Amino acid sequence: MPRRTAIRSEHLRRALAQEAARLMAEHGVGDFGLAKRKAAERYGVTEGSMLPKNVEIEAALAEYQRLFGGDSHVESLTAQRRAALAAMQLLAEFQPRLVGPVLAGTATEHASVQLHVFADSPEAASFHLMDHGIGYEVTARRVRMSADRVLSQPVLCFEMDDHAIDATVFPGDGIRQAPVSPVDGRPMRRADLAQVEELLGCDQARPAISV
């Protein structure tokens, strides 16, 4: 009986991860926690221990996109990465890094391009956008640096090639320590200009996907 219960629990956990991934892919839900809660509501799950981890949802999202995204996902991701590259070239003096779903390859068409930039003052990056005639808004984002250290960092929100760009501004020395990833709890992966160019080269060389 315990083994059967464990198997049922595992099947339910997988189903919840797949439903959360579907919600993110089809409905633009960008937050793992919200997608998880909506999936739990659909399945009538109230026990927190039954919910999948973020890394399980990300894996399910990648699988969903592989199976159902086809050429449209590849084209959307490539366009997002091109917009990221253009924004990074614009902000080159602030040592920009691409992070998040666009880097990981799991970005939905609704996702914004997430960058980290580094400046002695947030105003330096915003003045740079102003000097280039780029309109922007300033918001804030809470970033976890360790288990017990959470910071609120300014975010410059603007558009590049019709794609939303969210550039989180860190102090100059922030380049030495990446925040904790909300997906797996490890230091967040960051890609510089050269690495994004390499990603785009891989995208263009990748054969069309047939489903």
Name the burial class of residue 210, with classes exposed (0-12), middle (13-18) and buried (19+) by CB atoms within 10 angstroms of its CB: exposed
Cα distance between residue 155 and residue 115, in whole Å: 9
Mean residue pLDDT of the chain comes to 90
Could you tell me the two tokens for 116?
Answer: 């980290």
Q: Is 169 helix (H, G, I), strand (E, B) or coil?
A: strand
What DSSP character marks residue 147? Answer: T
- For CA atoms 166, 169, 173, 177, the dihedral sign is negative
Task: Let me know: does 91 contact 167? Beta carbons within 8 Å.
Answer: yes
Report the alpha-carbon distance of residue 109 to residue 156 in Å, rounded.
20
Which tokens is 5 given? 């219960």
Digit-coded pLDDT (tens) for 165-198? 999 999 999 999 999 999 999 999 999 999 999 9
pLDDT in tens, 10-35: 889 999 999 999 999 888 888 889 99
Outline where 28-108 has alpha helix (H).
Answer: 32-43, 54-64, 70-90, 101-104
The most confident of the ranges 41-45, 88-92, 144-148 is 88-92
For domain 71-205, the CATH class is alpha beta
pLDDT at 5 over 50: yes
Q: What is the pLDDT of residues 95-109, one digit of tens each?
A: 999 999 999 999 998
